[in-house]
Structure 1
Amino acid sequence: MPNESHVAAVVQGMYSIWRARNESLYNQTLADPPTVMLPGFQALAQWREAQPVEGHMDEHCPNNPLWKAPPQGILKLNLDAGWTGNSCTGMGFVVRSSSGEALLAATQLEENRLEPLIAEATAMRWALAQATGVELNRVIVESDSEVVVRAMKSRSCPPQIEMLIEDCKQLALNFTYICFEHTKREANAIAHLLASKACEFPSNMWWENRPSWLIHALLVDSTFEIICLELSVKKKNLYSSRN
């Protein structure tokens, strides 16, 4: 027999399809499958988050390589930098809520091919400046550059990024709450994707009307998190039945 969460997933999926059908029929608005399904996955993630499940998702999915949501009331900003082509550096960041909803995504292209460490520190400064500009107040900032994150938490850093880190620390004073965390590269996939797209989108910021490749990538992250939450529920129930 299907359990409550299975039924919720099916109902939410059917509702998303029904809404897309009405938009097509009455407003002549067509959407690709990721655009249709993403709001449903986000709503389902919010419902799952409200359910009483003991323990954190990571305890039940120790091999989870993907992004995990911040606590309620706090946003998470993931950023990355990388080379695009032979002579440019791409940067990208995404801001998501505790439900997994993407609130903001952006790309930026640097015309020079920066050294990797300098590129990561430059991306940190750029992302913090943009977040300040749109008045984000409470954020967790994640980067897959352990050196840059460590520099943001300490008084010393490599000399080649010293001025960049000082700028970042000054920008950090604009937030009511901010912390910096290192994350695995696999958990930073959306930011990495945005950085890789900087050649095509040299200076873009998306609040809505996001491109289909970004919607699809966000859907994959949301789907994996829902699967992990489902596994955590099953493991908790199994543990309870044995005791």
Structure 2
Amino acid sequence: MLALASKHVQSLWYHHNNWVWNRVNGSAFGVKSAAMSLLSEWRRARALEHRENLPISVESSRWSKPLVGWITVNIDATLCWDNCVGVGAIIRDSEGKFVRARCNRIAGKWKPKEAEALSLKMSLSWVQNLNYDHCIFQTDSKLLAEACKGIDGASYFHTIALDCVELCEHFNHILVQYVRRSANGVTHLLATHSTSDLREWVDDLPEFIHDVLCSDSL
């Protein structure tokens, strides 16, 4: 809201000067439209600047523990038969221990790359609300990891990726990494077991990911 107010003031000042020096008047709608345009440009510039600080990182073939004090958040999405997308996410700590997991379905005929971007966007909001700060988000979509780094575009996929970059600004320490599918098996299972109702596990992990989780920790 402060950002919007600031841009609104800039727009009002511009129209004031335009009237004083050029005798050009503008409607209230025009002032608001100009303010919203300025805000949009400012948000985009901030997001693009922030992208430079988001490493794509390594193409790991196995899940590995993060540094002490950090968590990993693996994410994945899968297309379902009922015109929905299943999304899953799991948080593990620096000892490789299970912390939390969640999965649910999103209605709509999404493209695979859009589904992956939505999965990251939802997971960023989830982890932000949990007040974690030293986070490594891992996806097996290299396109998504690169889009978060700085690949620009006008598609709906890139719009969602830009939302993800803006959400990253709320973390002081964050990485968005690409990993191979073999290092992301747990979240693939979570996504395929998703239902229309949000399911979340805290401390006690779901039985259907137990074996894969143990294999990752070896």
Q: Would you say how many aligned residue pairs link Structure 1 and Structure 2?
A: 159
What are the ranges of 5 or more consecutive residues in structure 1 without an aligned counterpart?
1-63, 226-243
**Secondary structure at the residue paired with 1:150?**
helix
In structure 2, relative to structure 1, the CA distance for the partners of 1:214 and 1:177 (3 Å cut) is same
Over the residues paired in the alignment, what is the CA RMSD in angstroms?
Answer: 1.7
CA deviations over 1:36-63 (Å, ceiling 9, x no partner)? xxxxxxxxxxxxxxxxxxxxxxxxxxxx
- Asked if 1:105 is matched to 2:101, the reply is yes
* Distance in 2, Cα, partners of 1:158 & 1:99: 40
Match of 1:26 in 2: none
* Distance in 2, Cα, partners of 1:93 & 1:141: 10
Match of 2:140 in 1: 144
Task: Select the structure of larger CA radius of gyration.
Answer: 2
**Secondary structure at the residue paired with 1:85?**
coil
- Could you tell me which of 183, 187, 207 is aligned with 2:183? 187
Q: CA deviation at 1:158?
A: 5.8
What are the ranges of 5 or more consecutive residues in structure 2 without an aligned counterpart?
1-59
Q: CA deviation at 1:155?
A: 5.0
- Asked if 1:73 is matched to 2:69, the reply is yes
Kept in 2: contact 1:84–1:198 (CA 8 A): no
* Distance in 1, Cα, partners of 2:83 & 2:151: 32
* Distance in 1, Cα, partners of 2:184 & 2:161: 21
- TM-score normalised according to structure 2 size: 0.68
Q: CA deviation at 1:165?
A: 1.3
Match of 2:92 in 1: 96
Identity %: 25
5 Å matches for 1:114-125?
Answer: 114-125=110-121
5 Å matches for 1:33-72?
Answer: 65-72=61-68
**Secondary structure at the residue paired with 1:123?**
helix
Moved more, 141-150 or 210-219: 210-219
Q: CA deviation at 1:212?
A: 1.4
Kept in 1: contact 2:98–2:203 (CA 8 A): no
Q: CA deviation at 1:198?
A: 0.6
- TM-score normalised according to structure 1 size: 0.62
* Structure in which a larger fraction of residues adopt helix: 1
Kept in 2: contact 1:86–1:113 (CA 8 A): no
